[in-house]
Amino acid sequence: MKNLMMGSLLALSLSACDSLWMDETATADPASLVVQVWEEINENYVFFDQKGVDWASALTRYQAQVSADMSEEELFEVLANMLRELEDGHVSLQAGFNNFRYHEVYLDFESNYNPGVVERVYLDRKINELGPFVYAILNGEVGYLRYGSFGDDFTQEQLVYLMDYFFSTRSLVIDIRDNLGGAAGNVTGLLGLFITEPQTVGQQHMPDGQGGYTVTDISVEPNEEIAAYENPVIILTNRKSYSSAHAFPGFMS
């Protein structure tokens, strides 16, 4: 059996921005490591009740599956299975030899996005790119904006150009299919293009480190340098639109 080195390899993340809560200080003892991962989740995760997750029983069940002589890979699998019960793509486990993230949010569904079809049929092979965006005007009157990841930043200059480009369109299609999310700031940055005054668009639940959470409003300011786009907006999503890409259409509504 391998000597367990998980203490120097393991990292746990509970956010889209990959904020790590465990590092080289983690214990190398398998049973203790299960407890440590369980406690981090117990103190910092806020959706047990909403998801109906019996997290209290998970500790006993998964502690019983580890032993002192198990391999790193076997221990990693036990920890990943415990985290899989959360059914949350924001929770990840990273080691020097493997990364775990919950992918079932989209793997159990057929893909309905084919970029080649979009580019050949709808864009007629005329592909305009600006920063993280693909853009076009369809049939001379409908704007099309493809944003593949909210993790890809954009500039104010790019937004100014795009909104000027779409100024005369009758409507705008924003395509965020297969967008797995990213930075919340990019969500609010896009939202600011479609409002004329400050708005509260949602709430954020943040763990308080004691098993509870605090709730704060999510507010968005209009982009004061760009005239708001006030024509109809259609947002294309699919099962692989996740996290920030899940929040964006909800905030837009």
Where is mean pLDDT largest: 66-70, 86-90, 112-116, 230-234? 230-234
Residue 115 is encoded by which pair of tokens? 């970029």
Return the pLDDT at 199. 92
Return the pLDDT at 213. 76
pTM for the complete prediction? 0.80
Is the pLDDT confidence value at 231 over 50? Answer: yes
For the domain covering 6-102, report its CATH number.
3.30.750
Check if the beta carbon of residue 36 is closer than 8 Å to that of residue 47: no
Residue 113's identity, in one-letter code, is Y
Spelled out in words, what is the top-level CATH class assigned to the domain 115-252? alpha beta
Check if the beta carbon of residue 147 is closer than 8 Å to that of residue 162: no
How is the chain split into domains, by residue range?
6-102, 115-252
Is the pLDDT confidence value at 178 over 50? Answer: yes
**Percentage of residues in the chain with pLDDT exceeding 70?**
88
- pLDDT tens, residue by residue, 6-24: 443 456 666 544 444 554 5
- pLDDT tens, residue by residue, 43-97: 888 888 889 999 999 999 999 999 999 999 999 999 999 999 999 988 889 888 8
Is the pLDDT confidence value at 1 over 80? Answer: no
- pLDDT tens, residue by residue, 139-175: 999 999 999 999 999 999 999 999 999 999 999 999 9
Contacts of 87 (CB under 8 A, 6+ apart): 51, 53, 102, 104, 105
- Dihedral angle computed from the Cα positions of residues 111, 115, 117 and 121, in that order, rounded to the nearest 10 degrees: 140
Residue 214's Cβ-side half-sphere holds a number of Cα atoms within 13 Å equal to 6
